[in-house]
A = this chain, B = another copy of it.
């Protein structure tokens, strides 16, 4: 098969980790007889510096014309702590999600037995954890009307959801649960918010179409607790944009494997794949960043966007082998030899 893949390296360590994912994907393509054409495009602070815009129209055109998007990370310290900066890298991210229609952010949290000790949680709490968040990504308070009144003394943000937006996200949640342990948790704040009541009633009405799925409804504050107490009690969780932002990040640190967690953002026509870690500006250009989350994001791309599970498995197997043999960057080296970003990428590509 032939694929065009938009390549958005972004800021900080983004370009370095993306390079490794390209190398590994090319090795997979070679082995399985596919042909990948990479289409690099600018995004984030890098794009602001170059053309004054974090998600330029040319970048959107490249993405929209591709079969999938592989994304590094964005964010640069020069834009932090300046609430009034006219353009910020994050705006590019939000614009990209909206314009590509990436309404479902898929965020798995799972454990690697060899990394359990890295978790801040006790082993017996985290063992066996294998959950997935589906976060709604193009609605809610992120995209509602916002602004100031009373001469800037009053600020407001509007959170809005339509039943249709909830349905399309929940549908993905039910379907995903059917391929897994058939448990779905709807996370909301229906005791306070009207949007949450819409979420809850919409999901309740869909239950009858998936009689095998066991559905629970939990308040966002309760989930924030239970994720730390009994993360392995969850299977699939669905939630709105802001709650998902907070809870997926909380979930990411419990496994001890944050540097390895991939993610996908899916729309009707296209999907984007990216590591969940940030742009780690401090590590930029030092060849120390862990490329495995980006490489595993490429695995998700083969599996989800191209429906090629074998290809994805080849990548996962190589990563597991690297972990078992200690071919890891310094964050996982535990006093043993630390490999460089590039060396880990080379090793993975050679072991496909």
Contact = CB atoms under 8 A, between A and B. Distances in A.
Interface of A: 81, 83-84, 88, 90, 94, 120-122, 125, 141-142, 144, 146-148, 150, 153-164, 189-198, 200-201, 217, 220-222, 224-225, 227-229, 242-243, 245-250, 252-254
B121 A150 contact: no
**Interface on chain A toward B: helix, strand, loop, or mixed SS?**
helix
A228 B254 contact: yes
Contacts of A120: 121-122, 125, 228-229
A148 B194 contact: yes
21 contacts: A83-B201, A88-B191, A94-B192, A120-B125, A121-B121, A121-B228, A141-B192, A144-B156, A146-B195, A147-B194, A148-B194, A154-B161, A154-B198, A156-B158, A157-B193, A158-B158, A189-B242, A220-B246, A221-B246, A224-B249, A243-B246
Contacts of A200: 83
B249 A141 contact: no
B249 A156 contact: no
Contacts of A125: 120
A157 B250 contact: no
- Among A144, A148, A159: residue with most chain B CB under 10 A: A159
Nearest to A148: B194
Nearest to A156: B160
Contacts of A142: 192
Contacts of A191: 88, 90
A146 B144 CA distance: 13
As for how many copies of this chain the complex holds, the number is 2
B155 A156 contact: no
A106 to B, nearest CB: 17
Given A142-B192, A220-B246, A225 B253 contact: yes
A94 B193 CA distance: 12
Given A148-B194, A192-B90, A252-B225, A163 B158 contact: no
Contacts of A155: 160-162, 194-195, 197-198
Contact of A194 (B157, B163, B195, B197): B157
Nearest to A230: B120
A191 B74 CA distance: 13
B253 A197 contact: no
Nearest to A162: B154
A237 to B, nearest CB: 14
B253 A250 contact: no
Contact of A141 (B121, B193, B224, B254): B193
Nearest to A250: B224
A224 B246 contact: yes
- Among A163, A228, A247: residue with most chain B CB under 10 A: A228
Contact of A159 (B156, B162, B217, B254): B156
- Among A196, A246, A254: residue with most chain B CB under 10 A: A246
A84 B190 CA distance: 9
A194 B141 CA distance: 10
Contact of A121 (B122, B162, B195): B122
B157 A190 contact: no
B160 A154 contact: yes
A201 B84 CA distance: 9
Contacts of A253: 225, 228-229
Contact of A228 (B153, B195, B201, B250): B250
